[in-house]
Structures are given as structure tokens and as C-alpha cells.
Chains A and B, each alone.
Chain A
């Protein structure tokens, strides 16, 4: 079974703090993704990575950065957390070709991290 894990289920941070969300997958997947989910807005892609040290912006990258130093691990970084980044963050992974585009493999999701910024 594919397993995608996230470092925390619930997280509370203060405005201005630097926040790290970690995601690890155990299936040797090339592609990894970070989404956020908000009521009324659905799931939106923040960043994705199709290889180690490679990253591509999604639909809403502003205020976020990512790091992928190892194939199994993809980190989302909030450089200076703000209240509008309070959200549910979901990590996903999939097999894929080396190209970032034309990805057509099944995505598997982690359990999510509910982040509250006060």
C-alpha cells in the first residue's frame, strides 16, 4: 500500500513565525504535491516537484516555498506565517515521467495538517 505521511495533524503558530510542514512517501514516487483546502474554494495546488531539487509553482505559490532534498521528502515552508494561511494542507505523491507536465498517474494523499495561525 502507498503511504504518505505528514509531520503533524494539527499545528498552531503565531503570525510571523516560520513554519515547516513535512511530507514523506514510501513508494519511490517521482512526483510530490502540496495543496491547501479551504471551505468554498476547494483544493488548490501550491507547489509540486517532479524530481529531487526540482519544483514548479502551482496556482497559489505566494507566501510559500518548498524544498525537496531527498526523493521521499517534500517540505512546505511558510516564511512568515499570516492569518490568511490558516488552512488544511494536504500532501500527495504519484509516479510520473521526468517531465512535470502530462502527469497522468494516480495521486495518493497524506492525512493532512490543519494549520491555525493566530
Chain B
């Protein structure tokens, strides 16, 4: 099945700093989503972005499907950005299921 790798596994930032989170995937995809899991375990949808670039406030994401990667940018980070960020993809082949990466744990310090 499709492989999803996220990097770096852990990230510590000072409040106000910018960061880039990366998601690599091993095959063509029909769907790519970025989620933020808050400390209570809720998965919050950030972006649905199988290709192209989107922005939502301080967050933006870019997926380059032909090169099989996606980037999530966080600017002017805040302590509430802390948590785990997941990338999940749906492969383009038949019988595909959403496959999650292992996540990136972000800690933003005041």
C-alpha cells in the first residue's frame, strides 16, 4: 500500500517563530488532508489539498502531486498550535483507504 512519511517527527518552537512540516508519499493520490490533533485528542481538519496551494490565516499548505510531497507552513506560531499534525492520503488505485502518517509533534513555548 501507499507509504506516508512525515518530518521532522518532533519540533520545538518559540512563540512567534515560523515552521514547515513535510509529508512525503510513495504513490499517486486522490486525496490529501492535514489535521491537527489537539491535546484532548480531537482531530481538526486543516486542509483538504490533493494538489495546489491553500491558505487559512497563519496556516498554508502546498501539495506538489507530481513530486509526491506536501508542506504545511505555520507562521507566527502560538502556544495553541501545539499538538500533533497528521498528513493523510488516499491512494489513486482501487481499494484505497485513507492512510495516515505517524504525525509531527509540535511544541510551541511561550
How distant is A69 from chain B, measured CB to nearest CB, in Å? 23
Chain B residues near A111: list those with CB within 8 A.
Answer: 40-42
Is A42 a contact partner of B100 (Cβ separation < 8 A)?
yes
Residues A70-105 near B (CB distance < 8 A): 88, 90, 92, 101-105
Is B86 a contact partner of A106 (Cβ separation < 8 A)?
no
Number of interface residues of B (CB under 8 A): 23
How distant is B20 from chain A, measured CB to nearest CB, in Å? 21
Residues A13-61 near B (CB distance < 8 A): 33, 37, 42-43, 45, 48, 58-59
Nearest A residue to B98, CB-CB:
A107
Chain B residues near A109: list those with CB within 8 A.
Answer: 35, 42-43, 45
Inter-chain contact count A-B, CB under 8 Å?
54
How distant is B31 from chain A, measured CB to nearest CB, in Å? 5
From B56-64, B71-79, B89-97, give the one contacting chain A: B89-97
Known contacts A42-B100, A106-B33, A106-B48: A101-B94 contact under CB 8 Å: yes
Contact of A58 among B35, B88, B97, B100 (CB under 8 A): B97
Residues B26-77 near A (CB distance < 8 A): 30-31, 33, 35, 40-43, 45, 48, 50
How distant is A36 from chain B, measured CB to nearest CB, in Å? 12
Is A102 a contact partner of B100 (Cβ separation < 8 A)?
no
Nearest B residue to A88, CB-CB:
B41
Residues of B whose CB lies within 8 Å of any CB of A are: 30-31, 33, 35, 40-43, 45, 48, 50, 86, 88, 90, 94-98, 100-103
